[in-house]
Structure 1
Amino acid sequence: MKHFRGAIFVSILALIIAYIYGGMTALVLAAILGVMEISLSFDNAIVNARILERMSYKWREVFLTVGMLIAVLGMRFLFPLLVVSISAHLNPIDALMLAMAKGDPSQPGTYAYILNHAHPMIAAFGGMFLLMLALDFFFDFQVVHWLGFPEKILRKIGRFPAATSLCSLILLLILSHFVAKDSFLVLFSGLIGIVLYLAVQGLGHLMAQHGTLAEVEEELENSNSKQSTPPVLLTGKAAFGLFLYLEMIDASFSFDGAIGAFAITPDPIIIMLGLGFIGAMFVRSLTIFLVEKGTLNELIYLEHGAHWAILILAILLLLSIAIEIPEIITGVLGAIIIGCSLISSLFYNRKSRR
C-alpha cells in the first residue's frame, strides 16, 4: 500500500475540497470522474511504466511531482480553457469567466458547448498521436507475440521504411476527406499530432542516446575491472528528453477523458478535482508500482495488451470525429483487452514453471 498512500491522501483532500466547493453533489461528481479516469487509464499506466523504468529514481520523483502538476493544471484545467479561447476567439480570462458561469451544455455559447464543438479537432490530434504510438510498437521487432497472426502481419508491414508515418498519413487523408465535416481543421489538427509525435520522439531519442553513451563511457572508466555493468538509468538531458516524451503520451491519453467529463459536469473545478487530483494521482502511483515491482517483465503480454488497447482507443477517437462514442465503451474495451493479456501472461508463467 505504500505506493498508493499519497494517492489516497490526495483523493481524500480533493473530495473534501469538492464538498466545500459545491456540497455533496460536487463530492459525488468528483468521485465519479475519478473512478472514470482510473478505469480509462490502465493502458496509460502500463505504457508510462515501460518508459519510466529507464529513468533514474530522481526523475521518477519528478514524474510524480512536476508531472502531476502538468497533468492537473495543464491537461485538466488549462487545456480546455485554451481550446475554448481559440474556438470562441476569447482571451483566457474571458474563457475562465465563461467556464465559471457554467450553463447548459446544450446551449450555444456555453463553455461545455464550445468545447464539445471543438471535439473533432481534439480527436484528430490525440487520435493520430496515439495511433503512431501503437503502430510504432507493433511495427518494431518483438521477441514474443501475444496475438500471433495480426502482430506478425503488422511486423511485416513495419519493415517498409517510414511505415508508421505513411500509414498514419493515409488514414488521416481518408478521414478528413470522407468522414469529417470540416476536412481542413481535422486534417490540420491530425498533422499537428503527427508532427508533434515525431518531434518529441526524435528529441527524446537524441537526448537518451547522448546521455546513455556518456554515462556508459563514465561507468566503464570507473570500473574497468568489472566484467559487466548494471543497466544504466538515465539522468540529465537523456532523462529530460524521455520526460517530455512521457508527458506528451500522458497528455494524449487525457484528451478523451477531459472532453468526456463534460457529459457529467461542465464545472472545470470539479473536473480538475476528479480527473486530475484523484484520477491522475492514482494512475501515477500505479505507474510507479509497476516499475518498482517489475510487473511488466513478469507479465510478458501485458505491454502488448496495453498497446492493443491504445490502438483501439486511437481508432475510436478518430471515429468519434463523425460518430458519438460513449466513454464507457472505450473504458470497457480497454479493460477487457488488458485483462485478457494479464490472464494470458499468468497462463504463460504457469506453463513455463511446469
Structure 2
Amino acid sequence: MVLRIFGLSGLVTVISLVAAFLYGGPTALFLCLILGILEVSLSFDNAVINATVLRRMSEFWQKIFLTIGILIAVFGMRLLFPLAIIWVTAGLNPIEAFDLALNPPPGDAAYFPADDPNRPGQASYETLITDAHPQIAAFGGLFLALLFLNFIFTEREITWLSWIERPLARAGKLDMLSVVVAGIALVLAAEFLADDENRATVLLAGLLGMITYIAVDGLGSMFHTEEFEENLDEAGREIEGKPVNTGPSDLAKATGKAGFFLFLYLEVLDASFSFDGVIGAFAITADPIIIALGLGLIGAMFVRSITVYLVRQGTLSDYVYLEHGAHWAIGALATILLVSIGVHVNEIITGLVGVAFIGAAFWSSIRRNRRAAAAETGDERATTPVA
C-alpha cells in the first residue's frame, strides 16, 4: 500500500532531480531538493485538510482532483502564478515575465543596469514578486483565516485543546462571527503592517480573499446533504445501524455539481496554501524552472501522496485530533501571512509551526486511543476520561 501510494512520488523526485542537474548542475540539483523539502514541510497541514474534503467526494471527483488538480497545482500555482503576478503588477505579459526570470540582472542586483540596452533600470523578476507579497499575503491570509475561524467557531463533540476550543465554539453561536474577526484582522494588518503605498491594495486583496472563501465554501455546501453525515460520529465513523454516505448526495453524483464545487474549493485552498511556499522559494532561487521542479513536481506530488494515504488508510478516523491540529496550523499560517505584510518571517518558522501542530495532534490522538483501548479492556489505570 505504502509503496503503491508513494512510488510515483519517489519516481517523480528522481526524474526532477536528474532534470535539475542537467539544467544547472550540482547547484540546481541542491536547490531543487531544498525546495521540495520546503514545500512538503509547509504543506503537510494542506494534505490533512485535503483529505478531510476529499473523503466527502465521489470516486470520480477524487480521481479528477488527484490528476487534473495536481497538474493545476504543479503548473498553475508553481509556474504560471508567479508569471501572472508579474503580468498584473509590472505590465509584462507572461512570455516577457518568463524571459525576465530566465535572464536576471548580473550579480545580485535587484535592477538591470541603467545603461542596459534591453532593460535599462528594470526591476528583476525576484524583486517584482517580492514587491507583490503584501497583496498575495492579504488574499491568502484572509482565505485561510476564514477556514480556520469557521472550524474553531463550530461546536464539536470531540475537542483537542478543549480549554480554548469549547469557549470559542460557544462564542461561535453569534452569527457571522468568523467574518467579523477576519475583517478586524484585515483592517489591523492594513493599518499597522502595510505601508501607505500598499494599504489600499492590501485591503482590496484581503476583501477578495474573504469573498472567494465565502463564495466557494457556500457553493460547495449548497449541494451537500446533511442527512447522511448525521449518521457519522465526530471521528467520521459509521454509527451502527444507520446508512452512511460520506460523499456527495445521489443528486450531486448525477449532476456532478457537488463534486465540482468541492474540487473548486480544494483548488482555491491549495492555491492559498501555496502562497507562502512560492514566495518563500524566492529566498532560495528566482529561477522558475528550479521552482517548478522543486515546489511543483517534488513537493506537490508528495503532498498528493500524503493526501491519498490519509484517505485510503482512514487515518483521520483513527487519529481524530489530526483535523484539529491541521486547522490550528492553518490559523498559525494565516497569522504569519498577515504579519508578513510588514515583517519578514523566516520560512523555516512557517514550516516548523505547521509540523509542530500536526505532530502534537498526532501524539494526542495516540494517547487518546491508548486510553480508550485500556478502558475497553478494564485497565484500572485508565482513569483519565477520553475527550
User: Could you say if the C-alpha distance between residues 163 and 105 of structure 1 is closer, same or farther in structure 2, counting changes exceeding 3 Å?
Assistant: farther
Q: Give me the whole-angstrom Cα distance separating, in 2, the residues matched to 1:228 and 1:275.
A: 43
The answer to whether the Cα contact below 8 Å between 2:36 and 2:298 also exists between their aligned partners in 1 is yes
- Cα deviation, residue 318, structure 1: 0.2
Q: Give me the whole-angstrom Cα distance separating, in 2, the residues matched to 1:208 and 1:12.
A: 40
What residue number does 2:306 align with? 286
Q: Give me the whole-angstrom Cα distance separating, in 2, the residues matched to 1:184 and 1:79.
A: 22
Q: Deviations over 1:270-324 (max 9, x none)?
A: 0000000000000011001000111011101111111111101100110000100
Q: Give me the whole-angstrom Cα distance separating, in 1, the residues matched to 2:337 and 2:185.
A: 13
The answer to whether the Cα contact below 8 Å between 2:193 and 2:343 also exists between their aligned partners in 1 is no
Residue 344 of structure 1 pairs with residue 344 of structure 2: no
Q: Give me the whole-angstrom Cα distance separating, in 2, the residues matched to 1:61 and 1:15.
A: 27
Q: Which amino acid aligns with 1:112?
A: E
Aligned pair count reads: 340
Residue 331 (structure 2) aligned to one of 308, 311, 324: 311
Q: Which amino acid aligns with 1:191?
A: L
Q: Give me the whole-angstrom Cα distance separating, in 1, the residues matched to 2:110 and 2:135.
A: 20
What residue number does 2:128 align with? 114
- Cα deviation, residue 67, structure 1: 0.7
Residue 159 of structure 1 pairs with residue 173 of structure 2: yes
User: Could you say if the C-alpha distance between residues 229 and 177 of structure 1 is closer, same or farther in structure 2, counting changes exceeding 3 Å?
Assistant: same
Q: Deviations over 1:40-59 (max 9, x none)?
A: 11100000000000112222
User: Which consecutive unaligned segments of at least 5 residues does structure 2 have?
Assistant: 112-122, 228-240, 375-387
1:34-73, aligned counterparts within 5 Å?
Answer: 34-73=36-75
Q: Give me the whole-angstrom Cα distance separating, in 1, the residues matched to 2:247 and 2:201.
A: 41
What residue number does 1:33 align with? 35
Residue 144 of structure 1 pairs with residue 152 of structure 2: no
TM-score by length of 1: 0.93
1:215-230, aligned counterparts within 5 Å?
Answer: 228-230=242-244
- Cα deviation, residue 176, structure 1: 1.1
| SS, match of residue 263 in structure 1 | coil
The answer to whether the Cα contact below 8 Å between 1:46 and 1:306 also exists between their aligned partners in 2 is yes
What residue number does 1:324 align with? 344
Q: Give me the whole-angstrom Cα distance separating, in 2, the residues matched to 1:5 and 1:207.
A: 35
- Cα deviation, residue 228, structure 1: 4.9
What residue number does 1:185 align with? 201
Q: Which amino acid aligns with 2:61?
A: W
User: Could you say if the C-alpha distance between residues 229 and 105 of structure 1 is closer, same or farther in structure 2, counting changes exceeding 3 Å?
Assistant: farther
Q: Deviations over 1:218-264 (max 9, x none)?
A: xxxxxxxxx75342533321111101001111110000000100111
The answer to whether the Cα contact below 8 Å between 1:261 and 1:271 also exists between their aligned partners in 2 is yes
The structure whose RCO (Cα within 8 Å, separation 6+) is larger is: 1
CA RMSD of aligned residues (A): 1.6
Greater mean deviation of Cα atoms: 16-25 or 266-275: 16-25
Residue 241 of structure 1 pairs with residue 261 of structure 2: yes
Q: Which amino acid aligns with 2:212?
A: L
What residue number does 2:101 align with? 99
Q: Which amino acid aligns with 1:204?
A: G
Q: Deviations over 1:197-235 (max 9, x none)?
A: 1111111112334xx88xxxxxxxxxxxxx753425333
Q: Which amino acid aligns with 1:56?
A: S
Q: Give me the whole-angstrom Cα distance separating, in 2, the residues matched to 1:351 and 1:228.
A: 27
What residue number does 1:217 align with? none
Q: Which amino acid aligns with 1:155?
A: A
- Cα deviation, residue 153, structure 1: 2.3
- Cα deviation, residue 102, structure 1: 2.8
| SS, match of residue 345 in structure 1 | helix
Q: Which amino acid aligns with 2:283?
A: A
Q: Which has the higher helix share?
A: 1
Q: Give me the whole-angstrom Cα distance separating, in 2, the residues matched to 1:317 and 1:5.
A: 33
User: Could you say if the C-alpha distance between residues 74 and 228 of structure 1 is closer, same or farther in structure 2, counting changes exceeding 3 Å?
Assistant: same
| SS, match of residue 31 in structure 1 | helix
Q: Which amino acid aligns with 1:107?
A: A
* Percentage of pairs with the same residue: 48
